[in-house]
Structure 1
Amino acid sequence: MERKIRVLVAKPGLDGHDRGAKVMAAALQDAGMEVIYTGLHQTPEMIAATALQEDVDVVALSILSGAHMTLFPRVKALLDAQGQAEVLVSGGGIIPAEDMEALQETGIGRLFGPGTSTSEAVEYIRTWFEENGREAAGQTG
């Protein structure tokens, strides 16, 4: 039996709008993934600590506040520092295309904007896990 993909869905910063994060969390869970939702107002340090404690494969951040150029890299740096460089950091929100490109160049995974179908994000995570997750988790096949 194959283990489930473990995804941490987090809302960093002061943004109080979590409808999109909750919709994505439900879609990922409906797709058979194990989802941990941290709730609102999480610091990057809290997110990285939860990712380590929960042994996740993916950290999906939802950022609508405009702080994406600070928060995505900070979470990634904290994960890397605690030996979790293999964890995919992805997510979405109100992020201009040029910022998405700049973040991806720093090692952040694909980012999704408003109107993206949940199935597109689910498929991205599944594909990433097929290509990377099993090896990172020490699994084969």
Structure 2
Amino acid sequence: MPETPVRVLVAKPGLDGHDRGAKIVARTLRDAGFEVVFTGIRQRVEDIVAIALQEDVALVGLSILSGAHVALTARTVEALRAAGAADVTVVVGGTIPAADVPRLRAAGAAAVFPSGTPLDDLVAEVRALTGAAAAP
């Protein structure tokens, strides 16, 4: 019997309307064997958490280009914990200065993927964080 794919959520919190990178990441993860749920743009943190719970995802990937990455990541991690979903891993990617990576880690991000991160590296890290096997 085939293994059930790991479910991940790719989300665009806040008012950022640019979704090309998030769509590329979603497609790359799908092609790597993950089951991907994509929220679309301009999502509220509360809605992202509700979708994560409803879809029973193992990982939430936040795509943020607006500059609000630290606050939005912290709010998402806190909201997941408050909803009893502290076991859901949160990662963040987008336009992220290197100086903000430690702040994102402190806010609860398990991994940070600044613009330009090779997609193979992203897939490998998401596999490692979720325990997902490589696609056949």
Q: Which deviations, in whole Å up to 9, do the C-alpha atoms of 1:45-65 show, x marking residues without a partner?
A: 010000000000000000000
Match of residue 10 from structure 1: 11
Q: Distance in 2 between matches of 1:69 and 1:91?
A: 9
Within a 5 Å distance, the mapping from 1:93-104 to structure 2 comes to 93-104=94-105
Identity fraction in percent? 51
Which residue pairs with 1:71 in the alignment?
A: 72
> What displacement does 1:95 show?
1.1
Q: 3-state SS of the aligned residue for 2:50?
A: helix
Q: Structure 2 length normalisation: TM-score? A: 0.92
* Structure 1 portions without partners, runs of 5+: 134-141
> Equivalents in 2 of 1:104, 1:26: separation in Å?
25
| Aligned mates of 2:83, 2:115 — CA distance in 1 | 31
Look up the SS of the partner of 1:59 in the other structure: strand
Deviation track 1:64-91 (CA, whole Å, cap 9, x = no partner) reads: 0000111000011010011110111002
Q: Aligned partners of 1:87 and 1:110: how far apart in 2?
A: 13
Secondary structure of 2:91's partner? Answer: strand
Could you tell me which runs of 5 or more consecutive residues in structure 2 were left unpaired when the two chains were aligned: none
Deviation at 1:2, TM superposition (A): 2.2
Q: CA deviation at 1:106?
A: 2.9
Question: What letter matches 2:75 in structure 1?
Answer: R
Q: Which amino acid aligns with 2:128?
A: T
In structure 2, the partner of 1:89 is 90
Which aligned pairs between 1:16-35 and structure 2 lie closer than 5 A?
16-35=17-36
Q: Contact 2:92–2:109 at 8 Å: present in 1 too?
A: no
Post-superposition shift, 1:107?
A: 2.1
Please list the CA deviations of residues 93-130 of structure 1 after superposition, one character each: whole Å capped at 9, or x if unmatched. 11111211111123211111111111111100111122
Q: CA deviation at 1:39?
A: 0.2
Is the aligned partner of 1:108 residue 2:109? yes
Question: What RMSD over aligned residues (CA atoms) do the two structures have, in Å?
Answer: 1.1
Tell me, in whole angstroms, the C-alpha distance in 2 between the residues paired with 1:67 and 1:127.
Answer: 27
| Alpha-carbon separation, structure 1, partners of 2:72 and 2:108 | 13
The one-letter code matched in structure 2 to 1:57 is A
Matched residues, number: 131
AA in 2 matched with 1:35 = V
Q: Hey, which bits of structure 1, 4+ residues long, moved more than 3 A? A: none
The aligned residue for residue 137 of structure 1 is: none
